[in-house]
Structure 1
Amino acid sequence: MRIGEAAHATGLTPRALRHYEQQGLLRPGRTSSGHRVYTSAHLEQLRAIGELLRAGLTVADVRSFAHLLDRAADDGAADGEPGHCAVAEVSLQRLRELDRRIEQLSLVRTRLAAQLTDRFGDLFAERPATGSTSSRASR
Structure 2
Amino acid sequence: MRIGELARRTGVNERLLRYYEQQGLLQPERLPSGYRVYGESDVAVVHRIRSLLAAGLSTATISQILPCLRDDGEGLVPTCTELIAQLQDERARMTSAIEELETSRSLLDTVITAGMAAV
Tell me which protein shows more strand as a share of its residues.
2
Matched with 1:133 is none
RMSD, aligned α-carbons: 2.8
Matched with 2:54 is 54
Q: Note if 1:35 corresponds to 2:35.
A: yes
Structure 2 residue ranges without an equivalent (≥5): none
Matched with 1:68 is 68
Q: Is the 8 A contact 2:20 2:26 kept in 1?
A: yes
Q: TM-score scaled by structure 2?
A: 0.74
Offset of residue 3 of structure 1 = 0.3
Matched with 1:131 is none
Q: Is the 8 A contact 1:28 1:37 kept in 2?
A: yes
Matched with 1:97 is 93
Which structure's CA Rg is the greater one? 1
Offset of residue 94 of structure 1 = 2.3
Q: Is the 8 A contact 1:31 1:37 kept in 2?
A: yes
Q: Note if 1:107 corresponds to 2:99.
A: no
Matched with 1:45 is 45
CA distance in 1, matches of 2:15, 2:63: 18
Q: 1:44 to 1:105 in 2, by over 3 A?
A: closer
- The 3-state SS of whatever aligns with 1:32 is coil
The one-letter code matched in structure 2 to 1:92 is Q
Cα deviation, 1:65-124, whole Å, max 9, x if unaligned, reads: 13335xx59xxxxx55642761x444332221121122223334445655x48xxx8425
The one-letter code matched in structure 1 to 2:80 is G
- The 3-state SS of whatever aligns with 1:12 is coil
